[in-house]
Structure 1
Amino acid sequence: MCGISAVLSLGVNPAQSNGEHLPSLNEQLSKSLDLVQHRGPDARGEWASDDGNVYLGHVRLSIVDLSPQANQPFHDSENDVHAIVNGELYNDEYYRKLLGSEYEFHSLSDCEIVLALYKHYGLSFLSHLRGEFALILWDSRRKVFIGARDRYGVKSLYYTIVNNRLLVATEMKCFLPFGWKPKWDVQSLRECGWIFGAGTMFKGVQSVWCISLLLLDVSNKNQVAPGHYIISRNFKPIQEAAYWDVEYPDKRTPELRSEVEMIQGVRTRLMEAIKVRLRADVPLGIYLSGGIDSSAVAGMVAHLVKEEGARLGNDESHLLSRIKCFTVQFDKDSGADESDIAQRTAEWLGIDFHPVPVNENIIVSKFEDTVWHSEMPMPDTNGMGRLAMAEVAKSHGIKVILTGEGSDEHFGGYRELLGDFLLESDPSWPPSPSEKDIAEVAKRLKDTYTTLSIPIDDKGVPKSTHRMLNSTSILNLLAMAGHMPFAKWTDIYAVTTPQTAQAESLDGRVRDAIANRWHPLHTAEYLFTKGFFCNLLLRYLGDNIDMVHHVETRPPFLDHYLTEYVNGLPPSLKIKFSSPDGPLTEKFILREAVHPFVTEEIYTRQKKPYLGPTKFQENGPLHQLVLRLTSRENVDALGFVDWEETQEHVRMAFQEKVPWSLRVAFSVCQFVVLSQRFGVARATA
């Protein structure tokens, strides 16, 4: 719902109250907020401590409580505790009643409960937050600075250190006005650290991504990871830690609940997660695809509005025809269009359907802006479709959208998870397949890794890494997503494989759980969720893109009340085995839970990922864009990419229509855009 930017002086002798740094830092903070003004067009707030050691900046998209009293930063009555928050918190009414006698609320904003919770629970306040958020809190009396991010990373939060000052912001571009000079982190690029962990493609800009508490050197620069926080006391170097992590049951523990009970458990929790996300003082809509996830959201919203009288944002009409849904409509012959299926779902529900045409010219026109705003290269055209949808939603006056992200990661929805599901039997659920059945099915389905048209290769991955990951293979796919035509000199940074780097970045307790307690399907879900999902998918197809057009998206499937329940379900109820020669049904228990709210077509349809078109004509608009971006001058300016190999991929992409080569060419193009817009120095050995 907003954009945030903050500054904290670090060191033994921080600035005193002589005001020496105030003018320049005030100006830098303002320019920092200018770069994310699209995230908060409704109000702006800037605050500085009297001694000039702390600066908080906020741009607001008004969603709940549209009054000026809800503008940020927030300050408590004693003027001791100050906070800026980006996001939505869904349990504020409960805590207003609980803490109203001890904290004086100044607004009806959901985000103001951050101050009340901190004053009541101390640092444990983070565990009481329910929703999608990134926040910064300053306790001036105790000299405590806290930055934190929601459990799944729906909202982004980065930090870096420039001139002995800690900078924390919603987007990396916010650091530029403070003098940050981005440099490529070639080791992170070669090891895919920017995909798997807290790192980015820039040196020192990461998420807070450690499970255990550790002290960071002030020369490091980092990003706040999902379920983590950073903290500085008395202007000393920051510490980082997790306040929450994903957990799964012991795979050997028998499940005592019935299948019917668990189906109802999913249905009840998903319905409630959707219901709380309907609250807004502005219009609300839905992103609808041809898949079961967004269709289930739409179906349950229609049920809540029609049968339970729920309010849809600020609309109290209870008319299904007032529910607006938006669907990307790629060219019909592209093989990527699902708009016909989505339209049938909308008509079945009786809701208002709005297709958003996205042809090659639109992809080209939005390509560079998608990269700039997402700050994350992802080799697909679907990000441009997401940007187009947000633009159309805004034109209809919609400020809040419900989406379907997060279902595949928890219910075993990706085809790429099938191989890991078949690594072991599931002793927690007796009807699961035997070892013999698993072997037969695995042999039959060994070619399932074709969804992204990516050649999977784990050559060079040490056996010790396979043992650390209990032979799960999801990282082989994800590592290929970060493949680039690297220049030969970068091989000095390729001693460690991406799979090994990811395995070694995990907390020892997580590695122990992978080796001894978790089923391989749950291991694969964990690795996907903690890396590729939060670092790429939620940036390129989420908040960063939606907010370009002042649209806040809310993913009910990432409600932790729901996910903690789903994580405890037997793997064999997520992916259903029928017989050795029959199909595997992904997201089985979700299908059963939402069956009453979706069409039979959706209920029986096999999962298809949201991917953009991969075949384009030679010398067409996209080919011309790629040729321009991958000129020798542009590629040489990167320093870490081989131009000749890049040109071969461009040729194969448009002459031979090879999807994998198109993705490689896209990756190079996206890095070129980042290089130019961020002003990144050329990488050298």
Structure 2
Amino acid sequence: MCGIAGIFGPKASKEVLSSMLAKQTHRGPDFTGIFVKEAEVALGHNRLSILDLSDAANQPFHSPDGRYTLIFNGEIYNYLEIKRSLSSKYQFITQSDTEVLLFAFQEWGTACLHQLNGMFAFAIWDHQTQKLTAARDRFGVKPLHYSLMEGSLVLSSEITPIWTFGVRKKANKKIWSRFFVQGRYGEEEETFWEDVFQLPAGHWMTWQEGKLTVTPWYDFVTNISRQLEIPQDQQEEYILDLLRDAVKLRFRADVPVGFNLSGGLDSSTLLALVSDLFPQDGAIETFTFVTGDDRYDEILWVKQMLQGRPYPLNSCLLTCDEVPELTAKMSLLQSEPFGGIPTLAYSKVFKRAREKGFLVLLDGQGADEAWAGYDYYLKKESGIVQGTQTSPLKPNALVREFAEMSHQQAYPQPFESKILNLQYRDLFKTKIPRALRFNDRVSMAHSTELREPFLDYRLVEYVFSRPESFKIRDGQQKWLLRKIAGRFLGDQIALAPKRPVQTPQREWLAGPLKDWVYSQLESLCNQTDWFEKDQILKEWEDYLRGNQDNSFYLWQWINTAELMK
């Protein structure tokens, strides 16, 4: 896991590239590598060493014949299998997945993407044809941002380096309006900032002679229609084998591996699988965040799950006093809106993991979307914030002209089933894209790598393709996953209802943080002309009086105030 940056065209410069890399050193503190041909190409890399810790695996990485230069962020989990298939033709000098990726591209071109099981964003420069090829993984676990300026293309893992390149920081009002009116966290290609784009998940792009082309390479809908038909009495074992292999592949690392643990089904199932695969490995440690509030902390559930298992637990405390400073730091790193105080609490997990030398953590992200685990799949809810009785949005606080910029766009519905279309939306348009963005930034802020076994594409595709009865039965969601989990955990955990990950955000904002909140609201109204100040203050006063069913809109305003500074 690393950070990448590149400049292609007449503005390619070692000095500018070095400044860009300096903005994302947290993504890779172990080595900073640069390759530059002035006014032609500049490639840079911030390395976080996970596989093959030697200098031989540093990047930018060059092919033996000098034709290709690669910069790569992520992990190819099945790199050993691909390496074996290439070993008769290529001579490997490292133990890294970077070298495997470069040779795979050299052998198969962009067709190699279909063989990769991993999370990745990479760029390869062909010195012979003067052509850039860049690609992003199926679900967009790893980010890749880009911009065009004065005949040059610039790309990087994060947004801040692009501003360092010289692209001005200017709000994309259409995207911000949709955020406040519809609760949308951006679009597949557009970001919250004008002239800063992201390569969509499952796409590759080329740049040659000043022409940019973006092409989809991952066809999820077609893949769903081509899934193997496993006999019904073998389905459970087949899925369990996929789960085990997904976890096993994500334990490939040359550094210690731990995992993030909550009291929910997904996290518990992950624990069960790790325990099944590595029953006596006391070197594996677990991490969970707490806030000191028994109404929200899941520490008792976590301790119950760990009973009889050899994995030490690290309890990572977030205090109310830390919120203002952490909000400022996280807003700078995220560069776009993020998900509130739970994201700040999550950051304490990665901070502690880094301090203890655990540079890789596993997480249960992705199970709800593939297995139809959200309540609104069965109920008529928006899905923006679960468990609220009132709207999480306050468009009444917006200036009318600004609110009208939020044009409603229908999400694609490629399936006949309503539930499948909701799952598809959450996987590719809403929940997973925003969660992956939050998680990438919050983990990399502390130079740690996050891996999500439930987002193994083989598992997602197969489970998604199953009939509704495999996911929802007798009103029980994620039915087959619960059945599998029950073999390891017992019914008390396997059948427990879904609990959103929460913190005392509502209480803190109205209590010990209220002065800070008010100052943020004042700042927001002074920084933009998007809001009716009297409506902002009216909603705030109403909140202080106890109308605290949700605090989503309040966090939107607080977070925006930081991002506009």
Asked if TM exceeds 0.5, the reply is yes
Question: Counterpart of 1:470?
Answer: none
Instruction: Give the C-alpha shift of residue 569 in structure 1.
Output: 0.9
Q: Tell me if structure 2 keeps the 8 A contact 1:416–1:449.
A: no
Structure 1 pair 482–395 and aligned structure 2 pair: CA distance change class (3 A): farther
Instruction: Tell me how far apart the structure 1 counterparts of residues 22 and 3 of structure 2 sit (CA, whole Å).
Output: 10
Q: 2:174 aligned with 1:187, yes or no?
A: yes
Aligned ranges 1:506-525 → 2 under 5 Å: 506=412, 511=413, 513-514=414-415, 518-525=416-423
Instruction: Give the C-alpha shift of residue 190 in structure 1.
Output: 2.5
Aligned ranges 1:83-122 → 2 under 5 Å: 83-122=70-109
Structure 1 pair 385–161 and aligned structure 2 pair: CA distance change class (3 A): same
Amino acid at match of 2:285: K
CA RMSD, Structure 1 to Structure 2 (Å): 2.5
Instruction: Give the C-alpha shift of residue 77 in structure 1.
Output: 0.9
Instruction: Tell me how far apart the structure 1 counterparts of residues 207 and 509 of structure 2 sit (CA, whole Å).
Output: 54
Q: Percent identity?
A: 25
Structure 1 pair 482–204 and aligned structure 2 pair: CA distance change class (3 A): farther
Structure 1 pair 332–417 and aligned structure 2 pair: CA distance change class (3 A): same
Q: 2:448 aligned with 1:551, yes or no?
A: yes
Instruction: Tell me how far apart the structure 2 counterparts of residues 399 and 483 of structure 1 sit (CA, whole Å).
Output: 41
Structure 1 pair 94–618 and aligned structure 2 pair: CA distance change class (3 A): closer
Instruction: Tell me how far apart the structure 2 counterparts of residues 527 and 447 of structure 1 sit (CA, whole Å).
Output: 12
Of 374, 397, 419, which residue of structure 2 is paired with 1:485?
397
Identify the range of structure 1 (592-601 vs 337-346) with the bigger mean alpha-carbon deviation.
592-601
Instruction: Tell me how far apart the structure 1 counterparts of residues 165 and 509 of structure 2 sit (CA, whole Å).
Output: 43
Amino acid at match of 2:378: L
Instruction: Give the C-alpha shift of residue 262 in structure 1.
Output: 1.6
Q: Tell me if structure 2 keeps the 8 A contact 1:399–1:552.
A: yes
Question: Counterpart of 1:598?
Answer: 489
Amino acid at match of 1:350: P
Stretches of structure 1 lacking an aligned partner (at least 5 in a row): 10-14, 16-20, 206-221, 307-318, 421-445, 457-479, 578-583, 677-685
Q: Tell me if structure 2 keeps the 8 A contact 1:626–1:666.
A: no
Question: Counterpart of 1:7?
Answer: 7
Instruction: Tell me how far apart the structure 1 counterparts of residues 72 and 314 of structure 2 sit (CA, whole Å).
Output: 32
Instruction: Give the C-alpha shift of residue 321 in structure 1.
Output: 3.2
CA shift digits 1:137-179 (9 cap, x unpaired):
1111122211211111111111111222111110001112211
Instruction: Tell me how far apart the structure 2 counterparts of residues 484 and 155 of structure 1 sit (CA, whole Å).
Output: 36
Q: 2:466 aligned with 1:569, yes or no?
A: yes
Q: Tell me if structure 2 keeps the 8 A contact 1:246–1:526.
A: no
Matched residue of 2:101: which SS? helix
Amino acid at match of 2:539: H
Structure 1 pair 272–625 and aligned structure 2 pair: CA distance change class (3 A): same
Matched residue of 1:416: which SS? helix
Instruction: Tell me how far apart the structure 2 counterparts of residues 67 and 120 of structure 1 sit (CA, whole Å).
Output: 25
CA shift digits 1:69-88 (9 cap, x unpaired):
00001100111111111011
Question: Counterpart of 2:368?
Answer: 408
Amino acid at match of 2:79: D
CA shift digits 1:361-413 (9 cap, x unpaired):
23333222222222331353110011111111112111000110011110011
Aligned ranges 1:274-423 → 2 under 5 Å: 274-306=247-279, 319-333=280-294, 335-419=295-379
Instruction: Tell me how far apart the structure 2 counterparts of residues 122 and 249 of structure 1 sit (CA, whole Å).
Output: 21
Instruction: Tell me how far apart the structure 2 counterparts of residues 57 and 173 of structure 1 sit (CA, whole Å).
Output: 15
Q: Tell me if structure 2 keeps the 8 A contact 1:401–1:552.
A: yes
Instruction: Tell me how far apart the structure 1 counterparts of residues 105 and 353 of structure 2 sit (CA, whole Å).
Output: 36
Instruction: Give the C-alpha shift of residue 657 in structure 1.
Output: 4.6
How many matched pairs? Answer: 561
Q: Tell me if structure 1 keeps the 8 A contact 2:73–2:121.
A: yes
Instruction: Give the C-alpha shift of residue 254 in structure 1.
Output: 13
CA shift digits 1:92-118 (9 cap, x unpaired):
112222212333333111122221111
> What stretches of structure 1 move > 6 A for 4+ residues in a row?
248-251, 253-256, 446-450
Q: Tell me if structure 1 keeps the 8 A contact 2:510–2:543.
A: no
Of 227, 232, 238, which residue of structure 1 is paired with 2:207?
232
Matched residue of 1:322: which SS? coil
Stretches of structure 2 lacking an aligned partner (at least 5 in a row): none
Of 640, 643, 650, which residue of structure 1 is paired with 2:530?
640
Identify the range of structure 1 (117-126 vs 347-356) with the bigger mean alpha-carbon deviation.
347-356
Instruction: Tell me how far apart the structure 1 counterparts of residues 363 and 277 of structure 2 sit (CA, whole Å).
Output: 16
CA shift digits 1:621-653 (9 cap, x unpaired):
42222112211x442312323322222232233
Q: 2:562 aligned with 1:665, yes or no?
A: no
TM-score calculated relative to the size of structure 1: 0.77
Q: Tell me if structure 2 keeps the 8 A contact 1:65–1:281.
A: yes
Amino acid at match of 2:306: A
Question: Counterpart of 2:437?
Answer: 539
Instruction: Give the C-alpha shift of residue 42 in structure 1.
Output: 0.5
Structure 1 pair 44–245 and aligned structure 2 pair: CA distance change class (3 A): same
TM-score calculated relative to the size of structure 2: 0.93
Q: Tell me if structure 2 keeps the 8 A contact 1:380–1:612.
A: no
CA shift digits 1:463-518 (9 cap, x unpaired):
xxxxxxxxxxxxxxxxx669683222214424x32xxx143xx5xxxx4x33xxx3
Instruction: Give the C-alpha shift of residue 239 in structure 1.
Output: 0.9
Of 200, 204, 217, which residue of structure 1 is paired with 2:195?
204
Q: 2:343 aligned with 1:453, yes or no?
A: no
Q: 2:541 aligned with 1:651, yes or no?
A: yes
Instruction: Tell me how far apart the structure 1 counterparts of residues 367 and 374 of structure 2 sit (CA, whole Å).
Output: 10
Instruction: Give the C-alpha shift of residue 283 in structure 1.
Output: 0.8
Matched residue of 2:271: which SS? helix
Q: Tell me if structure 2 keeps the 8 A contact 1:299–1:349.
A: no
Instruction: Give the C-alpha shift of residue 63 in structure 1.
Output: 0.4
Q: Tell me if structure 2 keeps the 8 A contact 1:614–1:659.
A: no
Amino acid at match of 2:84: K
Instruction: Tell me how far apart the structure 2 counterparts of residues 162 and 481 of structure 1 sit (CA, whole Å).
Output: 36
Instruction: Tell me how far apart the structure 2 counterparts of residues 449 and 630 of structure 1 sit (CA, whole Å).
Output: 22
Instruction: Give the C-alpha shift of residue 297 in structure 1.
Output: 1.2
Q: Tell me if structure 1 keeps the 8 A contact 2:320–2:508.
A: no
Matched residue of 1:377: which SS? coil
